[in-house]
């Protein structure tokens, strides 16, 4: 039986189980002003700060470097808290070897083939950092930039506004792009992300968040027993470089069918040619709802061991599900344990990969006078 989240939070607070790294007790279930502290210093001397905030039973720690979600703590069915996202303890690891743990991604989430596209008759060559392709904005994408962070409280909500201006030509992209990303923790413990951007020259934009989830707890082992559902009857197959072929293929009768919840590991080794290319799942699902005016529920992730659930709502047309295929045991996380293949997964709301090179994909073009806006909401439960 699914427990009421407020009952679980209240029980945890009453039992004194709410005291962890935020230094709180029952206050962890209450909204309060975000707290700032020095996290570390980059090689060039730039200071990186960490912001801690809590509301509705959810606790979040965010870095000014890359807008990174370093930790996110939620209770299990017994009210016991755990950090459910992968990350590092120091800034040097994030700067030197992070596979985008918890980061804001831009200007373009996912891949662009050969790092090339043409817009209004003008060809552009982007930074290439994934074989022949451009991945997640290039070698110095938004995940490697220091953002200006402004904390806020608004009614019963608490949050952070993160600002970054990307210069014309940065990583090869045209136009000066002014970006604001707002992280909000609601009184119910939902984590909401609102993205906004404007440009002074026609460009392409596809912003997302690259959190690695393990609802059993960071560093606790495989997520193959997590149950996942995705409201999508199609997905975009890729070539050997993980660039979409342009086909919108049916999931029916394939390991890519998550229309009904199933354990991630059930079909993970089915031998489908697309799984062989990606070493698992690393694909974009074409959401049945398409682009919507407001966020709609599109995916649910559940850990049967802890009872923790994550529901995702978005207005975007795609969802990239990545099953942690390239984690190889060489990275040690915040809990002191190494991450191996399949120890965490990503669910990235987005437009489609390589959209600038596929006219029939939803457009990612942003022009002067327009404002790019999109919202994703994460709802936690047990």
Of the candidates 173, 211, 187, 175, which has an alpha carbon nearest to the alpha carbon of residue 84? 211
Reduced DSSP (H G I as helix, E B as strand, rest coil) percent helix, strand, coil of the chain, to 5: 10, 40, 50
CB-based contact 341:320 (threshold 8 Å): no
* Residues near 67 by beta carbon (within 8 Å), at least 6 away in sequence: 103, 104, 142, 143, 147, 162, 181, 183
d(Cα 178, Cα 24) in Å, to the nearest integer?
A: 36
Of the candidates 153, 211, 212, which has an alpha carbon nearest to the alpha carbon of residue 182? 153
d(Cα 215, Cα 206) in Å, to the nearest integer?
A: 26
Helices (H), 15-135: 91-97
d(Cα 323, Cα 234) in Å, to the nearest integer?
A: 18
Taking CA atoms, 358 is separated from 201, 209, 320, in Å, by: 21, 23, 17
Helices (H), 59-135: 91-97
d(Cα 270, Cα 275) in Å, to the nearest integer?
A: 8
The answer to whether 351 is a known catalytic residue is: no
The continuous run of DSSP H or E covering 59 comes out as: strand 58-63
| Size of the chain, expressed as the number of residues it contains | 382
Which candidate in 136, 210, 226, 351 is catalytic? Answer: 210
d(Cα 262, Cα 311) in Å, to the nearest integer?
A: 15
End-to-end Cα spacing for the chain: 9
Strand, helix or coil at 51? strand
**Residue 56, both tokens:** 């509705």
Which candidate in 348, 351, 358, 378 is catalytic? Answer: 348
The answer to whether 348 is a known catalytic residue is: yes
**Per-position DSSP letters for 80-148, written without gaps between them:** -EEE-B---SSHHHHHHH-SSTTEEE-SBSSEEGGGEEEETTEEEEPPP-BTTBEETTSTT-GGGSBPE
Residues noted as catalytic: 210, 348
């Amino acid at each position: 039986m699914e427990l009421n989240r407020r009952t679980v939070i209240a029980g945890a607070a009453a039992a004194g189980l709410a005291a962890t790294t935020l230094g709180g007790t029952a206050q962890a279930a209450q909204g309060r002003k975000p707290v700032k502290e020095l996290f570390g210093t980059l090689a060039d001397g730039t200071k990186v700060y960490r912001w801690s905030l809590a509301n509705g039973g959810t606790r979040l720690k965010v870095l000014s470097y890359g807008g990174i979600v370093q930790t996110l703590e939620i209770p299990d069915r017994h009210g016991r808290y755990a950090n459910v996202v992968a990350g590092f303890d120091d800034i040097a690891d994030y700067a030197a070897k992070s596979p985008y743990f918890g980061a804001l991604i831009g200007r373009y989430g996912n891949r662009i083939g050969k790092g090339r596209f043409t817009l209004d008759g003008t060809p552009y060559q982007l930074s290439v950092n994934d074989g022949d392709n451009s991945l997640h904005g290039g070698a110095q994408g938004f995940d490697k930039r220091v953002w200006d962070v402004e904390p806020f409280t608004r009614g019963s909500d608490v949050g952070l506004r993160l600002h970054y201006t990307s210069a014309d030509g940065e990583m090869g992209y045209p136009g000066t792009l002014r970006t604001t990303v707002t992280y909000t923790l609601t009184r119910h413990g939902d984590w909401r992300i609102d993205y906004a951007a404007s440009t002074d020259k026609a460009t392409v934009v596809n912003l997302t968040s690259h959190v690695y989830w393990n609802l059993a707890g960071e560093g606790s082992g495989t997520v193959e027993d997590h149950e996942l559902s995705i409201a999508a009857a199609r997905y975009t197959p890729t070539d050997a470089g993980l660039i979409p072929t342009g086909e919108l293929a049916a999931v029916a009768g394939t390991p890519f069918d998550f229309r009904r919840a199933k354990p991630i590991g059930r079909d993970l080794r089915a031998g489908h040619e697309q799984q062989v290319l990606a070493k698992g799942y690393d694909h974009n699902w074409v959401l049945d709802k398409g682009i919507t005016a407001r966020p709609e529920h599109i995916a649910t992730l559940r850990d049967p061991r802890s009872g923790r659930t994550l529901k995702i709502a978005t207005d975007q047309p795609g969802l990239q599900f990545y099953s942690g295929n390239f984690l190889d045991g060489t990275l040690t996380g915040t809990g002191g344990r190494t991450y191996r293949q399949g120890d965490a997964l990503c669910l990235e709301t987005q437009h489609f990969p390589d959209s600038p090179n596929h006219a029939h994909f939803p457009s990612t073009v942003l022009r002067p006078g327009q404002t790019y806006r999109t919202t994703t909401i994460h709802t936690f439960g047990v």
